[in-house]
Amino acid sequence: MSCMEKKGFATRQIHVAHPHLEGISPLATPIFQTSTFVFDNTAQGAARFAGEQEGYIYTRLGNPNANEVGAKVASLEGGEAGVVMASGMGAISGTLWTLLKAGDHVLADRALYGCTYACLTTGLIRYGIEVTQVDFSNLEEIKNGIQPNTAVVYFETESNPDLKIADISAIAGLVHGLKPDIKVVVDNTFVTPYLIRPLELGADVVVHSATKYLNGHGDVVAGVAVSSKEIIHEIAHYGMKDMTGAVVGPFEAFLLNRGIKTLDIRMTKHCASAQRIAEFLESHSAVKKVLYPGLKSHPQHELAKRLFEHGFGGMVTFELNCDKKRAETFINSLSLCALAVSLGDTETLIEHPASMTHSTYSPEALAEAGIRESMIRLSVGLEDPEDVIADLKEQLDKI
């Protein structure tokens, strides 16, 4: 363990893997906006390709900006190594391409981000991979879903958009107890390592849409995978380099590194504001149901209290006491909350999962996954929460 690894979360989110540049020592890592790196001679080039000498070759195989972020997120998640990719879907598909081969089976939660669902159920099945989905809040269903050829178990720490919390240590313990070589892959996008660290609870790989809270400013699309050194080496050299080519640009990696430096203080405010807004929504007569793990009414509030540190996240899902048309008018009339997909940004974003982020699901699959047509998803931003509440209240009062 390096001395930096013994430091606290905030110190590591700022300092881990900051490259030392001889004779210049810039405080912020410069942007290495280069596609390739010049070798001193042919022997050096050959040694780098053979993996006998450390050093950069070509940005698809590694770049100082991307490597800094990969190592930093690995440290924050409590993993040995990390790799940054061009998007969350790049990280997810690169990881799955690496861990799976034809004939393997994936057991996944029913409620997943729409494009992850599409990657599994219309993408990977084309290549001889079998996929089944069960409800991951039910350990019996998981146990019954494991098959002799199951190679990957896949779920989200907090499912999208129904905000179900996965009991990671119970799931990983069950799965590894049945078949130790199954890789438990967890999407930790909604929660971030500041609130829950799945690897410490027994998961094998963590993936992120770094587009969301890790970057936090709505100006980057990127993804990260974190795991053991061996698995990340495979994901970087097979899943990313050869299969998806989902390489992050140096500028995006630079912005992502800057965003991560304030992750803890942003998450603290997202959590505090989301708690207040969820409580407000629950108290309003026009609101039928609120899903937020920090509310006593959340079906897994006790589990959430055990798993979450520092707060219960920035995502709130709710349903209104009105028909679809009136709910659309409510969303369209808000002035501060922006109607947009994505999440984890400084701005509060509101969206309709059934017709937007989860439009890859058929109506039957949505119903099976517990994603109701009436659900509205709010990503609470960093504005003054009373202003967000006032915006919501003004329109709710009209229903």
Q: Does 187 participate in binding ligand PLP (rule CB under 6 A)?
A: yes
**Which residues make beta-bridge pairs with 377?**
317, 351
The site map against ligand PLP for 98-117 (x = CB under 6 A) is ---------------x-xx-
Q: Spot the catalytic one: 110, 164, 212, 266.
A: 212
Cis upstream peptide for 26 (omega within 30°):
no
Helix (H, G, I), strand (E, B) or coil at 79: coil
Helix (H, G, I), strand (E, B) or coil at 59: helix
Minimum gap (Å) between residue 224 Cβ and ligand PLP: 10
**Under 8 Å between Cβ of 343 and 208:** no
Residue 101 identity (one-letter amino acid): K
Q: Spot the catalytic one: 7, 58, 60, 258.
A: 60
Q: Does 215 participate in binding ligand PLP (rule CB under 6 A)?
A: no
- Chain centroid offset of residue 71 CA: 17
Q: Does 65 participate in binding ligand PLP (rule CB under 6 A)?
A: no
Nearer to ligand PLP, 63 or 189 (CB): 189
Active site (annotated) includes residue 113: yes
Q: Which residue has the tokens 């061009």?
A: 86
Q: Does 221 participate in binding ligand PLP (rule CB under 6 A)?
A: yes
Per the structure block, which two tokens stand in for 316? 């709130």
| Footprint (CB under 6 A) of ligand PLP, residues 300-319 | none
Q: Spot the catalytic one: 104, 109, 187, 204.
A: 187
Active site (annotated) includes residue 212: yes
Helix ranges (DSSP H) in 261-398 = 263-283, 301-307, 324-333, 363-369, 385-396
Q: Does 209 participate in binding ligand PLP (rule CB under 6 A)?
A: yes
Among 181, 155, 185, 198, smallest CA distance to 307 is for 198
Nearer to ligand PLP, 236 or 349 (CB): 349
Q: Spot the catalytic one: 113, 194, 292, 361.
A: 113
Q: Does 89 participate in binding ligand PLP (rule CB under 6 A)?
A: yes
Show Cβ contacts of residue 332 under 8 Å, excluding neighbours closer than 6 positions.
339
The binding site for ligand PLP (CB under 6 A) comprises 87-89, 113, 115-116, 156, 160, 187, 189-190, 209, 211, 221, 223
Please list the active-site residues: 60, 113, 187, 212
